[in-house]
Amino acid sequence: MTDTRKTNSVTLRSNFPVGSSFWAVRRAQWRALGLTDEDMEKPKIAVVNTSSELAICFNHLDAVAAVVKDAVREAGGLPFEVRTAAPSDFIHSAGNAGKYILPARDLITNDIEVQVEGAQLDAMVCLASCDKTAPGQLMAAARLNIPTIFVICGYQSSGHIGDEHVDIEEVFLGAGHHAMGAITLERLREMSEQAIGSSGVCSGMGTANSMHTVCEALGMTLPGHAPVRAYGPKMLVHAADAGRRIVDMVWEDIRPRDILTEAAFENAVRSIFAISGSINTVKHLQAVAAEAGTDIDVYKMYETFMENAPVLVAVRPNGDTSIEAFEDGGGARAILKNLGSLARHDARSVTGGTLGDILSDYTPPDDTVKTADAPLSDKPAIVIVRGNLAPDTAIIKLGLRYDRKLVMTGPAICFDTPIAAIEGLQQGKVKAGDMLVLRGLGVKGGPGMGMASRVVFAIEGAGLSEDVSVITDGQLSGLVNKGLVVGEVTPEAYGGGPLGLIEDGDLITIDVMARRVDAHLTESQWAERRAACAPAELSDQRGYLASYEEVVQPLSRGAILVRPRKDG
């Protein structure tokens, strides 16, 4: 039977010429799988799954994939489930000081390219779950530019100890407190037993829920899909809707680069400010923009928009609103609606229409999400800073914490590993008023970008978060950032970046309102230290991280993997 949705302008790239070598060998394989010749004429849809038994954020995805595949078949498509790497920060950060975490994002992108592009499939449904899956999948969608839609696979339920809320990030924070003797092992053990009550990603406004919001703000999900309770009835309905919609997208020839325009990125950035989202979204969005072949400068977009960046909701730990209340209050769609004229209503969506079409008849169900003209705060939750310590950029996550110190000056105390920094805290080497410099954790210096949050949490556990600042080229937790912390400093220390030239005792000033982080050094002092700096050398890493180190680009390009051009 001929599908009436077909048009003369759409040819399925997966349908090879009959009698060709590609046709013959694939037909032999697929006939052995039980497929018919009629099946092989249908749009062939990759259902990209990161199922894993290693982490609770992924263990429900096989059942979600099954729902999507049934819906694809119902709509006249032929689904193929394909698997990729499934990194969880809380599981995979144990090895190599956490340096596999960011590189795993790009491993997902390349996994997808190998399987989907190699097989010449026609479209993708991506099951977006933990922190690195959504950005890795978005990067692959932008790179391959075949019709793609996202299924948001939901957040976990959190728990309580008595009347006190506890979730996974509070366990992470609690471990830092325990390292400094602020809580007992028994308390930490109890927190870890009560923190997670179901499958899904972290329940606060961390990187996962921030990136789920980004997926919808970019127009890559159907409306009203983010956030959502993991494996609940609503999420399964969403999964089926996406499975049916992707088949139509093939015949309508709606591709990611039609959607991932400047307007889409503006909506994503505005939304992150509005939810006080994760700072990790900055590099992830920059990576997606680069993979889409655009010249969009996401860092500059954040820097420009922070001058008019109302916060419309404060989900834990930014405030007292639960992620469940945010979902029930309209989630990402309510954010886009209540941004009003700040949102780009001309941005396109996987629906085939525009954001304006989506929002025209939509009213948020309650006032959980505030409006841009009556926000929770009119000050930016994320601040891009520069200065002689961060000539390119660095990032401060403030959330709603504008009642704390916004200018701090103090002497540097330098550490090259998180372990050394925590030991320094335990030994009393770090004192109130110090500027703790933690370097060598950048994308090349790691290699792979190390996690600095456990040092931040240990400082908080020591009762010093209001009096000790951290300046690092490493990455930070998307959820919990305590004190005045400057993260993702670029250029990184590796290769002669300014952070690598700082010595113990150098005075440093962080000035949030001036958007600067500076060392009090003269030009001659900088010049002397640069001259004495040893040339950068590749590490002794082996395996994937060795390859990553050679080709990873700086954060200003999203830390994507690109082989340097011979002509520079």
The residues annotated with a catalytic role in the active site are 477
Beta bridge partners of 407: 511
Identify which of 412, 431, 381 has the alpha carbon closest to the alpha carbon of residue 506: 412
Q: Which helix (H) or strand (E) holds 300?
A: helix 298-305
| Exposure letters 497-507 (e unless 16+ CB within 10 A, then b) | bbbbbbeeebe
Burial class (CB in 10 A: 0-12, 13-18, 19+), 258: middle
Give the C-alpha separation, 209 to 218, whole Å.
14
Position of tokens 């990603």?
A: 201
CB 461 within 8 A of CB 178: yes
**Would you list the DSSP string of 517-549?**
EEE---HHHHHHHHHHSPPP---S--THHHHHH
CB 83 within 8 A of CB 117: no
Give the containing element (helix H, strand E) for 274.
Answer: helix 262-275
The answer to whether 477 touches 453, Cβ cutoff 8 Å, is yes
73 phi/psi in degrees, rounded to 5? -60, -45
Beta bridge partners of 429: none
Task: Give the Å distances, CA to CA, from 119 to 26, 122, 138.
Answer: 10, 9, 19
Residue-wise DSSP of 53-107: SS-TTTTTHHHHHHHHHHHHHHTT-EEEEEE-----HHHHTSGGGGTTHHHHHHH
- Residues 159/194, Cβ–Cβ less than 8 Å: yes
- Cα 451 to Cα 567: distance, rounded to the nearest angstrom: 34
CA end-to-end span of the chain: 54
Question: Which residue type occupies 65?
Answer: A
CA atoms within 13 A on the CB side of 482: 23
Are 396 and 486 contacting, i.e. CB atoms less than 8 angstroms apart? Answer: yes
Q: Which of helix, strand or coil describes residue 397?
A: strand
> Which tokens belong to 148?
């793609």
Strand ranges across the sheet with 407-415: 382-385, 393-397, 485-490, 469-472, 435-438, 407-415, 507-511, 516-519
Which of left, alpha, beta for 253 (phi over 0: left; psi -120 to 50: alpha)? left
Residue appearing with tokens 């040819």: 11
Task: Report residue 518: phi and psi, to 5°.
Answer: -135, 145
Which residues is 128 bridged to in the sheet?
Answer: 152
Helix then strand then coil, % of the chain, to nearest 5: 40, 15, 45
Task: Give the orientation angle of helix 262-275 with respect to helix 298-305, to 10 degrees.
Answer: 50
